[in-house]
Amino acid sequence: MAVFGIDYAWGRPGPAALKRAGAKFVCRYVSHDTTGKDLTRAEADQLSEAGLWLVVVWETTASRALSGRAGGAADARDADRKAQACGMPADRPIYFAVDFDASAAQQEVINAYLDGAAGVIGRDRVGLYGGYGPVKRALDAGKARWAWQTYAWSGGRWDDRAHIQQYSNERELNGVSVDYNRAVTGDYGQWRVGVSPAEDDMPEYVSVGADAGQSLPSGQWTTIVWDREYSDSTRQHRDAGGPGLLNGPARYALTASATLRGVPAGTEVRARAIEVDSADADEVATGPVQQYAANGQGDLAVLYGLPADTVDEGRWLGFQVRHDAPGPITVADAKAKVLYWR
């Protein structure tokens, strides 16, 4: 988990319940609804006063984005008016929902819808909510600057450029049906009433990957070596690769994933974060261990999350995997994202 957030429609869990659940931000609707789905100014004030960030999404009907350029322009005018009435600063983005399994053949009209929205509020404020396909195609075409991807209709794939990931639906909080989200970039479109986030509110992040082929011997902890840079504005991870993700001192949240190939059924796999002394590699502090079991022969997906920790000065952060298979197994693919605050 990176930065945890919650979205909901008609119910209202309340700031106290949201904060007890660990939410740092709330995603809310603006639309033409008159039955209580939408964010109100009173609610925005209440959430802001509680220290929660807000994100807004426009949705009237699930397939409204098929209305093309004229629909996008009309929706952007209404969305901007309603969001600003709730206290959203004029520089913050609005996500426009594609809440169905949109096909590649429908992307042209969806892009036209986003063009219509951009003509009203500017391309830099246009976001898209949807599954993997429409998110990827809109970002590839430069039609949306922001992306909030849902796991629905995504087939287990995540676009690394998405700012928010909606990863679980139909949870319950304080008697209200909610969805779970994680923000995986420092700026994901958040705001409070009258307030855009300052630099201290937005963590930096490192996003890296590992090419296939690294061998993981049996019965020992192996540190994943990262050799692909996706983003690292402060050069925390060396371009040439290596095991270190982040150099302290910093507060951080880590999400790491790995696909392991050739895992025998019944194999137990464990993963953990480590913090290593830069001057003495034998001085290692270990983070929480998470376990995974291979139910069948083949690939095993490992997803590790550490929502909050601190790496001290003179130490670096890494990620390790251990397994008890009879022989070595290999990494088919691995990725890691670290959000951190100095």
pLDDT tens digits, one per residue of 332-341: 999 999 988 8
Ordered DSSP codes for 90-118:
TTS-EEEE--S---GGGHHHHHHHHHHHH
> What would the mean pLDDT of 285-307 be, rounded to a whole number?
92
In the predicted model, what is the mean pLDDT of residues 74-103?
Answer: 98
Lowest-pLDDT range of 2-6, 59-63, 165-169: 2-6
CA distance 288 to 271: 8
Are residues 144 and 137 in contact, defined by beta-carbon separation less than 8 angstroms? no
User: pLDDT tens digits for 139-153?
Assistant: 999 999 999 999 999
Work out the average pLDDT over 296-304: 89
Tell whether the model's pLDDT for residue 29 goes beyond 90: yes
Question: Residues 210-231: what's their mean pLDDT?
Answer: 90
pLDDT at 240: 67
Question: Does residue 339 contact residue 203 with C-beta atoms inside 8 Å?
Answer: yes
Q: State the pLDDT at residue 341.
A: 81
CATH topology of domain 3-201: TIM Barrel (3.20.20)
Structure-token pair, residue 85 = 């009435």
Least Cα distance to 57 among 97, 11, 24 occurs for: 97
User: Would the CATH topology of 3-201 be identical to that of 204-341?
Assistant: no
List phi, psi (to 5°) of 173: -140, 120
Residue 206 has pLDDT above 80, yes or no: yes
Report CA Rg, the chain: 21
Averaged pLDDT, 128-149: 98
Is residue 75's pLDDT more than 90? yes
Whether 27 shows a pLDDT value over 50: the answer reads: yes
Over range 174-182, report the average pLDDT: 96
pLDDT of the residue at 1:
39
Domain ranges (residues) in the chain: 3-201, 204-341
- The mean per-residue pLDDT over the stretch 266-271 comes to 96
pLDDT above 70 for 272:
yes
Confidence (pLDDT) at 233: 66
**What is the C-alpha to C-alpha distance for residues 188 and 207, in angstroms, rounded to an integer?**
15
Is pTM beyond 0.85? Reply is: no
Distance CA 302, CA 295 (A): 13
pLDDT band for position 236 (cuts 50, 70, 90): confident
Q: How many Å apart are CA 210 and CA 162, to the nearest integer?
A: 19
Given a cut of 80, is residue 154 above it in pLDDT? yes
Give the integer Cα–Cα distance in Å for 271 and 281. 19
> What is the average pLDDT across 171-191?
94
What topology does CATH give the domain 204-341?
Answer: Jelly Rolls (2.60.120)
Q: Which of 335, 338, 257 is nearest to 301 (CA)?
A: 257
Q: Across residues 52-78, what is the average pLDDT? A: 98
Can you read off the two tokens belonging to residue 251? Answer: 């507060």
Asked whether 34 and 63 are in contact (CB, 8 A), the reply is no
Higher local confidence (pLDDT), 184 or 259: 259
User: CA angle 34-40-46, nearest 5°?
Assistant: 150
Average pLDDT for the chain: 93
Distance separating alpha carbons of residues 342 and 203, to the nearest angstrom: 8
What is the average pLDDT across 63-90?
98
Q: Let me know how many helices (H) and strands (E) the chain has, helices first.
A: 5, 19
| 275: Cα separation from own chain's centroid | 24
Q: Please state the rounded mean pLDDT for residues 27-40.
A: 97
**Calpha distance 146→157 (Å, rounded):** 18
199 vs 45 pLDDT, higher one: 45
